[in-house]
A and B are shown apart, each in its own frame.
Chain A
Amino acid sequence: MSHIKLPIYLDYSATTPIDKRVADKMAHYLTLEGDFGNPASRSHKFGWSAEEAVEEARKNVADLVNADPREIVWTSGATEADNLAIKGAAHFYRKKGNHIITVKTEHKAVLDTCRQLEREGFEVTYLDPEENGLIDLDKLKAAITEQTILISVMHVNNEIGVIQDIEAIGEIARENRVIFHVDAAQSTGKVDIDLQRMKVDLMSFCAHKTYGPKGIGALYVRRKPRVRLEAQMHGGGHERGMRSGTLPTHQIVGMGEAFRIAKEEMATENERIRMLRDRLYDGLKDMEEVYVNGDMEHRIAGNLNISFNFVEGESLIMALRDLAVSSGSACTSASLEPSYVLRALGRNDELAHSSIRFTIGRFTTAEEIDYTIELVRAAVEKLRDLSPLWDMYKDGIDLNSVEWVAH
């Protein structure tokens, strides 16, 4: 195992390294020797070169999702894109209605934005997903009222990797003349997106989960039929007034190059990643009391979210110091709440506390997966030997029948 570099990075849904091809291209847009100009400068070559680079990147981003480049608005990332989409649409269309529909398993960038709108007087319905993490379209339809102006559903869930049927949701939204926003931070380069076909009005992107840089993202804003937004960032009127602020050329070029590579390589890459993910799952699934969280079929290739029953997630992560993975148990971030996503799926507390998210990506190798399997099996066994819950399970005691002395 000496050739494996530790720790092994299996947290590609948190962020990805920048692809070297992307980094090389970005470096050209920083210094005096390169094209460092302000793309908004109209009076000289420095500005023109930078603008040209920005527009080429805009085309690359649009191409990945089959959109028109004029529909792409640069932002600082997916969080800002979510804020601009949701607040921007809610504020613009508030005379039409005050009701928004979203899902309990959305990213906080969507949920917290909706909470803010509630404080401003909007009403928000937070749909429960089914046990597999997907939403029931009939429940969505039933939630739509005369007052509904916006539906926001993420494409791919960051924790469990399940893919929502945004094409079908788009049809429902369009029939009901409701704006449809999709947070696609986790899906670019992983799932085909065709905005000519899908009736999505607003879609949020970021670069850093698709081998581009952090600090840059974009919002797709549909032109036909036209969707209007109230700007959230005011200033020089960049991006057709929707998002002011000097464009960071090198970041934008990085996102464009990352998305260009994604379009070119995603088919073969996903196949390879799926093979690795299945190899990992095959290496773990014969263990007792192991549960996959989220639908296994409607799921991106690189995600495996598993609960190891009767083992607490944070201690498992501690035992897996040679792996960079994340835990569904949020103890690590100083609150003791288990993952709200797993809770929304109806997972019980033990399982929600016992989950590990493995996310595999472009630079993961088969050797790393094999080593990971060994480490995980040994760690789970060690912690189960320590676990009173495991003993109780083995003695046939139903943990739900126990009166716990909670504190």
Chain B
Amino acid sequence: MAYSEKVLDHYENPRNVGVIEDDQSVGTGMVGAPACGDVMKLQIKVGKDGIIEDAKFKTYGCGSAIASSSLVTEWVKGKSLDEASKIKNTQIAEELALPPVKIHCSVLAEDAISAAIENYRQKNR
């Protein structure tokens, strides 16, 4: 299967790989399942002003799943939680030129953002 330039770039040089030490200001989302061949873990660190100041990911999955999660860590940084929650899988798929069989990777990345935001909000209710 031919991957797009952008998928290859994120795959070769993934942005923001890692783990943020957990505390009150950190939201963690983990979505997917080993049985499906993808698991994405996305963490966001939210500043006092409600802006996402850092994001990290770890992903088990195909190249498109890795690229999708790498991309969203870039996109969410500097956004408010509301802004970040508006990121849609279609934007991710378009940016990375994902083929139809890989659309689920972008859906998973969108789910990961939602899960991380939800986790942060629960902690800070």
Contacts and interface: CB of A to CB of B under 8 A. Distances in A.
Contact of A349 (B31, B34, B65): B34
Given A312-B37, A353-B37, A318 B63 contact: yes
Interface in A224-265: none
Contacts of B107: 407
B19 A391 contact: yes
Given A315-B63, A318-B3, A385-B17, A406 B58 contact: no
Contacts of A406: 32-33, 35-36
A318 B111 CA distance: 24
Among B17, B32, B36, max chain A CB count under 10 A is at B36
Which bucket holds chain A's interface residue count? 20 to 34
A247 B104 CA distance: 47
A375 B8 CA distance: 18
Interface in A358-407: 385-391, 399, 404-407
B116 interface: no
A388 B63 contact: no
Contacts of B61: 312, 315
A388 B66 contact: no
Nearest to A314: B62
A247 B22 CA distance: 71
A389 B60 contact: yes
B62 A407 contact: no
Interface SS of chain B: mixed
A303 interface: no
A353 B30 CA distance: 19
B58 A387 contact: yes
Given A404-B32, A405-B31, A407-B111, A388 B60 contact: yes
Nearest to A382: B14
A54 B92 CA distance: 58
Contacts of A331: 37, 62
Contact of A407 (B14, B36, B59, B66): B36
A200 to B, nearest CB: 38
A267 B30 CA distance: 52
Among A310, A315, A338, A391, max chain B CB count under 10 A is at A315
Given A312-B65, A315-B63, A334-B101, 8 more contacts: A312-B62, A349-B37, A350-B34, A353-B37, A386-B17, A388-B41, A399-B34, A405-B115
